[in-house]
Amino acid sequence: MVILMWGGFHVLRYAYFGDFLPNTAYAQNISVIHRLKELLTCSPNIIYHTSLAQKIIKMHHGYLFVLCLPLIGFIRRACCQREKVAWVFLYAALCSLFLTALLNPYVFGRTRIDETRTTTQMALVSVVFISVILSKLKLEKRTQQFCLIAGYIVLSFFLIEILSFKPYYLGFSTKRFLKFRSEFLELQRKHKLFRPTVANADLGIMSWYKDFNIVDLGLLGNPVLTRLAKQDKADYLFQFVAPDFIEFHVWWSCEYYYLFDDDRFKELYEPARVNQAQIKGFCQDKNLIEGVWVRKDIKINSHSRERLLIEALQNEISLDAVKKEIDHCVKENTSTTSCLYVTRTVYRFLPEFVKKGYTSEQITGLFRASPSSKYDIAVLTSREQGPWYSDAIAFIKNHENNK
């Protein structure tokens, strides 16, 4: 039954996401097959994984689990077959959860931000295992049992005390990211912009409030960025998705340093807030730029065709306005990316088009004349098909090759 549920889960996940591997695996370069090869070939990386496994035992008090293993020989025998089966299953389940946490580094490697955060179940398992073992001890004399249990409890508290650590955030406090959201909202009000597309490395806070369309620079929530090489990433960000607002803070300024060196960054964006920051260990201790940038074409005083189309659709949701704009961009420019601003704008208002009763076929049908139709249709139907990003990525890579 467990295997059937596991298989059914993955079938449904593939139907929804269009891939058996989760996006996080691509974002963090996690390959189970590669890890297993390291184990089979006794790769030197195993030493690092072993040290991480030791850290997991310490952080989640797994040593308490190990401490109680010798007591299994003293547990009370089951009174009947049914009870025996139940206890064997319980021991096996607890050992399984413990071992999967312990072996996690060997299969998946380290996790981003906090190395042990994906194995916190070990803490609960250790406590439950101790409780189960101590509750089933059977010794000849009650005094022996009392002394043994008391001794184990005292020893456990002693170990917890000497190996304890101060509580800390799993990653970072949400306060700093709430500040970024406030900045985005202020820019939205300033430029009277409908449902802005924002790009930064925090998917959590931004997606929680449903204020924006989001390009996750942290990669975990963006299947397109995750699967692109650096140059393709730059093309995607500057020419295709073109976020209205971009925010970088220190670590991510280092990760995306090549965007600052791209001429298109200064050409397309202007700073709303910029400051210098330096943290040792990032980018060889160089000064890094962090801040918030606004795309020039969507500013309130901009007379770009994109801004004018946004304002037209803010006044009235109409496919006629979209068709007129596609006809213009096809006629005036032969570039394969000439109509992408129309795609971005329609996507911005997509829920409103749906509410007004327009079907997906009616909306995407207008884009069949667009030189980027393959990409346009993939994006505009992304809510309806799991592997939408495959067509989008193929078009982006082909565009880069043609250049």
Structure confidence by residue, pLDDT tens digits, 345-369:
999 999 999 999 999 999 999 999 9
Q: CB of 212 within 8 A of CB of 177?
A: no
Q: Could you read off the pLDDT of 376-385 as tens digits, one per residue?
A: 999 999 988 8
Helix (H, G, I), strand (E, B) or coil at 271: strand
pLDDT at 247 > cutoff 70: yes
Instruction: Give the helix/strand (H/E) hosting 132.
Output: helix 121-135
Residue 190: predicted pLDDT: 96
Per the rule left: phi > 0, alpha: psi between -120 and 50, beta: everything else, 229 is: beta
Which own/partner contact pairs does 228-234 have at CB distance under 8 Å and 24+ positions apart?
228/393, 228/396, 228/397, 230/258, 231/400, 232/396, 232/397, 232/400, 234/258, 234/259, 234/262, 234/264
C-alpha dihedral, 281 to 39 to 54 to 94, nearest 10°: 130
pLDDT at 225 > cutoff 90: yes
More confident residue, 286 or 201: 201
pLDDT at 278 > cutoff 70: no
Average pLDDT over residues 294-306: 94
Encoded tokens for 158:
């002693």
Contacts of 11 (CB under 8 A, 6+ apart): none
Q: CB of 183 within 8 A of CB of 272?
A: yes
Q: Could you read off the pLDDT of 71-107 as tens digits, one per residue?
A: 877 777 667 778 788 888 888 898 899 999 999 988 8
Q: CB of 252 within 8 A of CB of 49?
A: no
DSSP track, 152-201: HHHHHHHHHHHT------SS--SHHHHHHHHHHHHHHHHTT-SS-EEEES
pLDDT at 308 > cutoff 80: yes
Distance CA 364, CA 380 (A): 7
Residue 277: predicted pLDDT: 67
Confidence band, pLDDT 50/70/90 cuts, at residue 284: low
